[in-house]
Chain A
Amino acid sequence: MEEVRLMKGNEAIAHAAIRYGCDGYFGYPITPQSEVLETLEALMPWDTTGMVVLQAESEVAAINMVYGGAATGKAVMTSSSSPGVSLKQEGISYIAASSLPALILNVMRGGPGLGTIQPSQADYFQAVKGGGHGDYHLIVLAPSTVQEMADFVGLGFDLAFKYCNPAMILADGIVGQMMEKVVLPEQRPRRTDAEIREQCPWAVTGREGRRKRNVVTSLELESDKMEVINHKLQEKYREIEANETRWEEIGTEDADWLIVSFGSVARISTKAKELAEEEGLKVGVLRPITLWPFPSEAIRKAADGKKGILVVELNAGQMVEDVRLAVHDALPVKHFGRMGGIIPSPSEIVNALKGMVND
């Protein structure tokens, strides 16, 4: 049994990356996620697993190093916070277009612009609706505990390789900065070159006279061929939607009201549920774990027979649009959010819920 440790979410990401057998991390510091790079530098995995850790000259350089590493079939990742993730969007679109596996961590802070360094969830649209240009999707995982920060590194990489698609861990300043108990995954060896050649036949690993050359590109000037690529991507997205949707439900069955929240806010909503119950309101919480693919069907089912849904987010109302699409206006759906790095307290959420009940 692995030792139980106490660490920050950002530190857990670094430990989990090494233990997954990650081949390379490329990043640039920005609050509130600088501990990822700092922890990796302190752990010096290049001496143990051979993992490369590189502080690039910019976020743009880092994501393009990830693009290059991914093209060779290596398990590579980057991390940043909101303004830095905006800079990476061009590279992310290219990686998605080239159908390459990669892991990107966004520990969100308040925006727009340089905004604030305090927690936020205002990059939901950017993460699930594209962010970069073109028709593409990232697999987006939203951790709510430090344990999930550690676990989603492995899950993110596994899904990225299974579907040859970039995955994103969409965290926030709360889960990045807070310390909790965590059990780290067991150390796995990095894959050998032979394993990479076997598992990733598309990778550019050098021909050595064995086969036709592999080409990794996002460019296709002939529209007929480009549309075929688009259709292939869309087929892949439908397959991911069918197989990889994840969510958690807390007391949704015998509730009258439903709160939908993701990430650390889902935990504040769970506390609000407990407080609301003391006042006689029956409330359930549904927490999407994958933000894309979005658990629309689960929300539709959980909403059945409910009086209304309150969507609580650290933004002006983003995921609430997907919740509305899921339930087709079959019941009232309202949004409650704080912005600018302000975190709502459990009682603020209870008050928002009461406002909805009394409407």
Chain B
Amino acid sequence: MKTEIIAAGFGGQGVLSMGKILAYSGLMDDKEVTWMPSYGPEQRGGTANVTVILSDERISSPVLDTYDIVIALNQQSLDKFAPRVKAGGVLIYDTNGIHKHPTRDDITVYPIDAMDAALELGNTKAYNMIVMGALLEAMEYKLPMENVVKGLKKSLPERHHKLIPLNQQAIEKGRTLLKK
């Protein structure tokens, strides 16, 4: 098993922390993991992205041409990374603010409205965990939820552990959003 993922969006949408939680969840599931962020001023606005690789074997390159799964949370990221989904791969994108939708027919495309789902949940800060739910559902490799919860515990500071049930709820809600 090897899953190569990139998540991209605006700085502040939480793609880096979502990637971190995913990486920790993979670690808890005994996988080799690599988490590579774009770093620098983009964390304070602009476009941020994170590559996460989960694998049974030693991971060679943290830098990739194409991905099994691309998550694009704004138009710029969609334009940049939709062409880089492997044939047969998965593209998840948030439809908010998107005016040019993807046209590829050799991949599975899941448009989602994660902000709407977060609002339904009553907490817009859970946005990235909604997206993570969609990702977990779309992944061929099924990460057991108990290890995702362990991943949440590992990556969140102790003072935020009271938020873990909310995050779990958001992930479960995100799982229901996938419609082709």
Contact = CB atoms under 8 A, between A and B. Distances in A.
Contacts of A178: 34-37, 62
B36 A174 contact: yes
19 contacts: A6-B35, A32-B39, A117-B39, A174-B63, A177-B37, A177-B39, A178-B35, A178-B36, A179-B36, A180-B34, A180-B59, A181-B27, A181-B32, A181-B33, A264-B63, A268-B61, A268-B63, A270-B61, A344-B63
A61 interface: no
Contacts of B163: none
Contact of B61 (A118, A179, A346): A346
Main secondary structure of the interface of B (DSSP, over half): mixed
A179 to B, nearest CB: 4
B39 A6 contact: no
A6 B20 CA distance: 9
A345 B65 contact: yes
B34 A346 contact: no
Nearest to A116: B40
A31 B39 contact: yes
A343 interface: yes
Contacts of B35: 6, 178-180
B34 A179 contact: yes
Interface in B18-70: 20, 23-24, 27, 32-37, 39-40, 59-65
A267 B39 contact: no
Contacts of B23: 6, 179
Interface string A172-191: 01100111110000000000
A215 interface: no
B40 A267 contact: no
A197 interface: no
B86 interface: no
Contact of B63 (A118, A180, A345): A345
B94 to A, nearest CB: 25
A256 interface: no
B153 interface: no
B52 to A, nearest CB: 9
B125 interface: no
Nearest to B34: A180
Contacts of B37: 177-178
B71 to A, nearest CB: 18
Most chain A CB within a 10 A radius of its CB, from B27, B60, B64: B60
A253 interface: no
Contacts of A241: none
A340 B18 CA distance: 28
A271 interface: yes
Nearest first, the 4 closest Cβ-Cβ pairs linking A and B are: A271-B61, A179-B35, A270-B60, A178-B36
A6 B62 contact: no
B175 interface: no
A289 B23 CA distance: 27
B62 A264 contact: yes
Nearest to B154: A6
Contacts of B65: 345-347
A267 B61 contact: yes
A346 B40 CA distance: 23
Nearest to A175: B62
Interface string A79-120: 000000000000000000000000000000000000001100
Contact of A117 (B33, B40, B64): B40
